[in-house]
A and B are shown apart, each in its own frame.
Chain A
Amino acid sequence: MTINRRDFLRGAASGSAAVAACATLAPSRAEARGNLPIPENAVGLLYDSTLCIGCKACMSACKEANDLPLEDNVGEGLWDTPLELSGKTYTVIKIYQHGTMEHKDKAENGFAHIKRQCLHCADPSCVSACPVSAMTKDGPLGIVEYNKDACIGCRYCVAACPFGVPQFQYDTPFPEIAKCQLCKHRLDDGKIPACAEVCPTGATLFGSYAALDEEITRRKAMTPGEAALFPRRTVDSGDVHEKAAPEYIDDVYGDTEVGGTQVRYLSGVPFDKFGLPTDLPERSFASKSETLQHSLYGGLAAPVVVLAGLVAAAWRGSKNHHDDE
Chain B
Amino acid sequence: MSEVILPSEVAKRQHHHHKPAAIGGGLISPMTVVLGALVAVAFFFLGQRFIYGLGAVTNVNNGYPWGIWVVWDVVIATGFACGGYAMALVTYILNKGEYHPLVRPALTASLFGYSLGGASVLIDLGRYWNFWHILWPGYAHVDSVMFEVAACISLYIIVLWIEFSPAFLEHLGLKDAKRKLSKVMFFFIGLGVLLPSMHQSSLGSLLVVMGAQVHPLWQTMLLPLLFLLTAACMGFAVVILEATLAAVGFGRDLDHELPMLSKIGKIIAGVLTVYLVLRLGDIVVRGQLGAIFTSGFKSVMFLIEMALFAAPIVLMAKAANRKRLSKLFAAAGSMLTGAVLYRIDAFLVAYDTGPGWNYFPSVPEMMVTIGIIALEVLAYIVFVKKFPILPGQPHQPSNGR
Q: Does chain A have a CB within 8 A of B397?
A: no
The interface residues of chain B, by DSSP majority, are classed as helix
Q: Does A221 contact B (CB under 8 A)?
A: no
Q: Judge whether A306 is part of the interface by a CB distance below 8 angstroms.
A: yes
Q: Mark A179-221, 1 if CB is under 8 A from B, else 0.
A: 0000000000000000000000000000000000000000000
Does A227 make an interface contact (CB < 8 A)? no
Q: For the complex, what is the distance from the CA of A314 to the CA of B192, rounded to whole Å?
A: 11
For the complex, is B126 an interface residue (Cβ under 8 Å from A)? yes
- A14 contact set on B, CB distance < 8 A: 93
Q: Is A307 an interface residue (CB 8 A)?
A: yes
In the complex formed, the residue of A with least CB distance to B98 is A1
Tell me, rounded to whole Å, the shortest Cβ–Cβ distance linking A318 to chain B: 4
B7–A321 CB distance below 8 A: yes
Cβ of A158 and Cβ of B62 under 8 Å apart? yes
Q: Is the CB of B143 within 8 A of A128?
A: yes
When the two chains form their complex, are residues B14 and A133 in contact, meaning their CB atoms are under 8 A apart?
no
Assess whether A152 is in contact with B127, with CB atoms less than 8 Å apart: yes
Q: Is B394 an interface residue (CB 8 A)?
A: no
Contact (A1, B14) CB under 8 Å given A154-B125, A285-B208: yes
Check: B140 CB closer than 8 A to any chain A CB: yes
Say what secondary structure dominates the interface of chain A.
helix
Contact A314 B190 (CB under 8 A): yes
Closest partner residue, chain B, to A290 (CB atom) = B143
Complexed CA–CA distance, A286 and B210 (Å)? 9
B-facing mask of A50-76, CB < 8 A → 1, else 0?
000000000000000000000000000
Interface string of A269-302 (1 = CB under 8 A from B): 0000001010111000110111011101100000
Let me know if A289 and B205 touch, CB within 8 A: yes
Give chain B interface residues in 190-220, CB to chain A under 8 Å. 190-191, 193-194, 197-198, 201, 205-206, 208-213
Return chain A residues, CB-CB under 8 Å to B206: 156
Q: Is B383 an interface residue (CB 8 A)?
A: no
A172 within 8 A of B: yes
Contact residues, B95-114 vs A (CB, 8 A): 95-98
Contact B93 A314 (CB under 8 A): yes
Q: Is the CB of B224 within 8 A of A22?
A: yes
B194 contacts A310, CB within 8 Å?
yes
A-B pairs with beta carbons under 8 Å apart, 25 shown: A8-B95, A14-B93, A125-B209, A128-B144, A131-B140, A131-B141, A132-B133, A149-B130, A153-B128, A154-B126, A156-B206, A160-B209, A168-B54, A169-B53, A171-B52, A173-B51, A285-B210, A292-B221, A297-B148, A307-B194, A310-B190, A313-B190, A315-B186, A315-B190, A316-B95
